[in-house]
Amino acid sequence: HANMAPFGGYDMPLWYSSLKQEHLAVLTAAGIFNTSHMAVLGVKGSAAYELLQRCFSNDLSVCVM
């Protein structure tokens, strides 16, 4: 059973079972953490804007950073 929270329009699992059990498992065995949602992607070049505009459904001309 996962404890979920809204993140970026989706439900993201915050933890499974209990935080203490997960913490101890990582300390005494091993753990893998998926942080791909925190990735930063750099795109350079004269056609970068046009490429990204085709790849994403959002209109980049109205995106604010």
Provide the residue type at 57 as one letter. Answer: S
Identify the pLDDT of residue 1: 75
Provide the residue type at 47 as one letter. Answer: A
Domain parsing of the chain, residue ranges: 2-62
In whole angstroms, give the CA distance from residue 57 to residue 12.
22
Identify the pLDDT of residue 45: 96
Identify the pLDDT of residue 27: 93
pLDDT by 10-residue block (mean), the chain, 65 residues: 88 86 89 83 93 90 75
55 alpha-carbon distance from chain centroid: 18
